[in-house]
Amino acid sequence: MSIPATRESDGRIIGGHEAKMHSHPYMVSLQLNFWFLRTHICGGSLISDNWIITASHCITGSWLIDWLNIDAVAGTHDVDFHEPGTQIIRIVQRTPHPDYAGGVGPHDIGLLKTQYSFTLSKQIQPIRLPETFNVNDKIALAGWGVYTTILFLPILPNKLQEVIMEYLPYEECYNALEKIIEETGESNALVKNSNLCTGPISGGVAACSGDSGGPLVQYLNEETYYPVLIGITSWGISPCGEAGAPTVYTNVSNYIGFINNITQLSTT
């Protein structure tokens, strides 16, 4: 979600590159299903064999999204060509956070339950959730969102993209957003604890709609280098990648109680 010189819930990777095949096995493409046609709308992250975490704005607030079925596509690198091992399962339960008020704002997190469990494999694996909020400098974003424009037309990749991001402390992010929106008269929607941010605010690297709901990942342990889900792509400034414009995510560590309450994963 991105905002024209303000905020908007469009997610796209700017300044990234094609990811290595199946280097993000928790990555899910959420696709609207109309008859036999599917279209990618958002990213998501597998947190068990039948639960997916994404942004609330990806699963509610639009009559089209409310009306059509959503399928979860896991184990694929190319959203236009499903290689062997790809699994597609219907979403049967959508749970946006009860305090999410729609649009740009806090609590932009939701949970999806699939009709059947995914068969876990090398290319389909759940990601770990954070125990505490402790961000290091090894963070990355992945997604199939818009990565450039030609003659003002958005260009979406069919193959998964990724980019290394720079963590931006809350105060720096808040002040950067204040400078951008001060001329619009809008309020600053950034909420401490609920959100976290990435830069660089020098521009050129950003997430902004196909990436919405997708994972911001931190890599821990120098020996095993395992990924932990720390953020969910929520909103940014349009046009994406502009100097001075951070990208805003939902801080997953702030919602562990909500996640456990809905999924009951902590008790299984």
> Strand pairing of 153-155 and 215-220?
unpaired
pLDDT band at residue 194 under the 50/70/90 scheme: very high
Catalytic residue at 212? yes
Nearest to 66 by CA among 44, 96, 38: 96
* CA dist., res. 108 & res. 98, Å (int): 10
Catalytic residue at 57? yes
Strand ranges inside 99-224, DSSP E: 110-114, 139-143, 148-150, 153-155, 161-168, 195-199, 206-207, 215-220
Tell me: pLDDT of 7 over 60. Answer: no
Tell me: pLDDT of 38 over 60. Answer: yes
Say which of 57, 77, 97, 107 is annotated catalytic: 57
Distances from the Cα of 143 to the Cα of 132, 172, 203, angstroms: 24, 25, 19
Neighbours of 187 (CB within 10 A): 7
Q: What homologous superfamily is domain 2-18+127-253 in, according to CATH?
A: Trypsin-like serine proteases (2.40.10.10)
Q: Mean pLDDT, the chain, as a whole number?
A: 85
* CA dist., res. 254 & res. 250, Å (int): 8
Average pLDDT score over residue span 97-107? 94
What is 69-122 written as a DSSP string? EEEEEES-SBTTS--TT-EEEEEEEEEE-TT--SSSSS---EEEEESS----BT
Residues 6 or more apart whose Cβ sits within 8 Å of residue 18:
157, 159, 160, 161, 162
Say which of 10, 48, 97, 108 is annotated catalytic: 108
The SS3 call for residue 4 is strand
Tell me: pLDDT of 189 over 70. Answer: yes
Tell me: pLDDT of 183 over 80. Answer: no
Most confident of 91-100, 202-211, 215-224, 240-249: 91-100
* Residue 204: per-residue pLDDT: 59
The one-letter amino acid code at 220 reads L
Average pLDDT score over residue span 87-110? 96
* CA dist., res. 17 & res. 202, Å (int): 19
Neighbours of 227 (CB within 10 A): 22
Yes or no: is domain 27-126+257-267 CATH 3.40.50.800? no
Element (H, E) at 77: none
Phi, psi of 227 (to 5 degrees): -85, 145
The one-letter amino acid code at 167 reads Y
Domain ranges of the chain: 2-18+127-253, 27-126+257-267
| 8 Å CB contact between 50 and 118 | yes
Say which of 2, 56, 209, 212 is annotated catalytic: 212
pTM of this prediction?
Answer: 0.90
The one-letter amino acid code at 104 reads V
Distances from the Cα of 15 to the Cα of 91, 166, 187, angstroms: 32, 13, 28
2-18+127-253 and 27-126+257-267 have identical folds: yes
Nearest to 248 by CA among 103, 90, 60: 103
DSSP at 192:
B
* CA dist., res. 10 & res. 172, Å (int): 22
